[in-house]
């Protein structure tokens, strides 16, 4: 997650600096703020402290289709066999070797399942939409029996008193019991610890100190920075 083997954040004496991560055009500017805890002597990120919005973002990784992730990274995920599979598929002619161009697009740019997307998703991975559902009610021509079915079309069948009433489907992430301070997956208000290998846990002084001790990092060798995370840049500010 934080590229602990090959990447460290270089903080200087300026209040702000920018590091380019990915070039993607987007009309929306979504950002999150986290506190980065790093080792001063090596520049290694030890963990971050974050609230529900960042935890939602991390949990949303579990909903991403693999092909959608590879599309964002243009076929370079650092997993050579998966990269080879993706790029070989995109090079195949949809007329000669694949069923259709539609199938090729479904494999190369699959969407997140409906109702699993985040409302403030930073990464440009689209989500599938649910079809419109209707209550279809009607009377048989004999007039002796009324029927009620669910359908995704509004095709009339020439029954008596035939009607189509649209259904409003409830997103399970937005239940009536959900707190206004909660995220879409994580409850709030809470503060979490996320390590560089994506272990997520509620944070406390004990868990933070335990993680530092297990990493053999002395407290004097630790510093904190607030980080603004967006699609294109990271902005560092002094606490």
- Lowest-confidence range among 73-82, 89-98, 144-153? 144-153
What whole-number distance in Å separates Cα of residue 151 and Cα of residue 166? 10
- Name the least confident of 72-86, 142-156, 180-194: 142-156
Q: pLDDT for 142-169, tens place per residue?
A: 655 556 677 777 776 766 677 788 888 7
- Residue 97 CB-density burial (10 A; 0-12 exposed, 13-18 middle, 19+ buried): exposed
Buried b (16+ CB within 10 A) or exposed e, 178-217: eeeebbbbbebeeebbbbbeeeeeebeeeebeebbeeeeb
pLDDT tens-place string over residues 2-39: 444 433 444 443 333 333 333 444 445 577 889 999 99
pLDDT at 212 (0 to 100): 92
Confidence at residue 174, expressed as pLDDT on a 0 to 100 scale: 66
Nearest Cα neighbor of 68 from 102, 99, 107 is: 107
130 — pLDDT class (breaks 50, 70, 90): confident
Global pTM reads 0.68
Q: What is the pLDDT of residue 137?
A: 77
Residue ranges per structural domain of the chain: 1-52+184-239, 134-166
Which one has a higher pLDDT value, 137 or 233? Answer: 137
Instruction: Write out the two tokens for 126.
Output: 């689209």
Mean pLDDT score, 117-125: 81
């Amino acid at each position: 997650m934080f590229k602990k083997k090959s990447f460290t954040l270089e903080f200087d004496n300026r209040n702000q600096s920018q590091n380019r991560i990915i070039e993607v055009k987007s009309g929306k500017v979504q950002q999150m703020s986290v506190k980065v805890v790093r080792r001063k002597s090596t520049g290694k990120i030890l963990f971050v402290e974050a609230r529900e919005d960042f935890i939602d973002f991390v949990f949303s990784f579990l909903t991403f289709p693999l092909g959608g992730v590879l599309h964002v990274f243009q076929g370079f995920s650092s997993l050579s066999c998966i990269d080879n599979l993706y790029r070989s598929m995109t090079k195949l002619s949809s007329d000669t070797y694949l069923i259709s161009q539609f199938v090729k697009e479904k494999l190369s740019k699959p969407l997140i399942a409906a109702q699993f997307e985040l409302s403030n998703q930073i990464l440009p991975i689209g989500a599938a939409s649910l079809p419109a559902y209707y209550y279809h009610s009607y009377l048989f021509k004999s007039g002796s029996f009324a029927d009620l079915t669910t359908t995704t079309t509004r095709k009339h069948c020439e029954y008596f008193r035939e009607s189509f009433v649209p259904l409003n489907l409830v997103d399970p992430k937005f239940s009536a019991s959900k707190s206004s301070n909660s995220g879409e997956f994580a409850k709030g208000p809470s503060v979490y610890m996320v390590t560089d290998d994506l272990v997520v846990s509620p944070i406390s002084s004990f868990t933070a100190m335990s993680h530092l001790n297990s990493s053999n990092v002395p407290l004097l060798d630790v510093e904190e920075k607030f980080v603004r995370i967006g699609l294109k840049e990271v902005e560092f500010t002094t606490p």
